[in-house]
Amino acid sequence: MDRYIRIPLRTERGRRLYYDQIRVTNLKKDIEIFLSIENSLSNISVKDILNLTDYNRKERNNVLKSYEYILNQRDINKDTLKKLYDIRSDKLLDIYSEKNMGKYYREGEVFILKNGSILDCIECMDYNKINEFMDRLFLFIQNSKSEDIENFIDSQIIHFYLYYIHPYFDLNKRTSRMLASWNLINNKNYNYLLIENGLSFNRSKYQRSLYNSRKGNVTDFIELSLSSVQKEMEIHSIINSIKKYRNLSSEQMYMIKIMLNITNSKDIIKLIDRSSLKILKQLLDKNIIIEKNNMNKKLYLNRQLIELDDDVYKKVKIKKISK
């Protein structure tokens, strides 16, 4: 067995994209096993995606309209993608970006900040080559796999490649994620739409994996996508389980999601404000989050409300968060 899967897409310098299937296989198996025993993901909706993602009001409206568009438009080509971009970017672009857009793509240079510094940046693809590379991407989309997790991997290759081409002045990452979701929807693989939520809690890893994949090895990016979507599936199952016993508002669901994504107790301090403290109190009052009677006042998710295998629960349970 060849260790590397070669993808029929190339970098600007002619290197073919590839990934290490040995590194990816175990993650694929974990997701397949989880989906085989957990059936609460079969009816994931756009509303679920919006409830568990921190969009401001304007962006939320654009995302909702974008999903409405791709749910009713199967064809993915330069005309339909431009329409999607116009919906997704409505009233979010600066004057320069609007003035220098061609019929389909940007007509000017764009630079990416590597480490958030203007002194450390790289120039994106020459805009004269964008049309050629986008046509290659559309061909890949037409021939992409439709089978469950293989389709998810292809969707994340699409995600990366649109970002790599960087056909717009702004909102390239957001449009890339929406294009990946479009491919998933066309193949009825709704479980994996939760990736939109997972990457928002891995922004530094997300950006780093996109940058590291520019030379052609997209293994890091696919691994991050697989691990992120699996965790989101597990969190979604936990929230669904709680909803059987307690009514939850979208704000309460999002707070549970935040707490499940916390890697150490200090992180919650950055997220706490008056409104979130109010939501935490609501969760405590509903006995969804319980407080241990000890000196440190630790908070835990109420295990009695969770109908999940212990091994799954242990991976995503709320850490010992100081109140």
pLDDT one-digit tens code per residue, 138-154: 999 999 988 889 999 99
**What is the model's pLDDT at position 260?**
79
What domain range is 74 assigned to?
Answer: 4-234
Q: What are phi and psi of 3, to 5 degrees?
A: -65, -30
Same domain, 258 and 200: no
**What is the model's pLDDT at position 321?**
45
Distance (Å, rounded) from C-alpha 165 to C-alpha 287?
A: 49
**What is the model's pLDDT at position 322?**
44
Q: Is residue 116 part of a domain?
A: yes
Same domain, 147 and 266: no
* Residue with tokens 């339909």, as numbered in its chain: 80
**What is the model's pLDDT at position 271?**
57
pLDDT beneath 50: ranges in the chain: 265, 320-323
Q: What are phi and psi of 297, to 5 degrees?
A: 50, 65
**What is the model's pLDDT at position 261?**
75
Same domain, 138 and 209: yes
Same domain, 48 and 102: yes
Same domain, 279 and 157: no
User: Residue 77: CB partners within 8 Å, gap ≥ 6?
Assistant: 138
What is the CB neighbour count within 10 angstroms for residue 26?
A: 10
62, two tokens: 């654009």
Distance (Å, rounded) from C-alpha 91 to C-alpha 239?
A: 34
Same domain, 221 and 271: no
Distance (Å, rounded) from C-alpha 306 to C-alpha 286?
A: 14
Same domain, 230 and 96: yes
CATH number of the domain to which 101 belongs: 1.10.3290.10
Give residue 31's identity as a one-letter amino acid code.
I
